[in-house]
Amino acid sequence: MTVNDIDIITIGALVEIIDQNETSLWVFLAPVSGGIKFEFKQRKIMVISTHSPLGKQLLGKETGDELSIGLGARSTQYRITDMA
């Protein structure tokens, strides 16, 4: 979805996020059935649902935004770096 030329993450988005260790993860945001992993165009992609903690945080965000999953010392920081 584009609002004033800004890509906003919605259901159906393919998003690259990078954690604090610079590890890249591609996720496909689906309405249901998360947990499936597959490879497409040399990208390893994980399907997540909008009901998962990560899916909930990604909705409405855009490239460059940051988010945190987990609590305290067990939290992981992510930065949204790309959308395809």
| Tens digits of residue pLDDT in 34-66 | 888 998 888 899 999 999 999 999 999 999 999
- Give me the chain's average pLDDT, please: 89
CA distance 71 to 35: 21
Q: Looking at residues 8-32, what average pLDDT do you find?
A: 94
Which architecture does CATH list for 2-14+23-83? Roll (3.10)
Is the pTM here over 0.95, yes or no? no
Q: Looking at residues 30-35, what average pLDDT do you find?
A: 86
Q: Looking at residues 77-81, what average pLDDT do you find?
A: 96
Count of beta carbons in the 10 Å neighbourhood of residue 35:
10
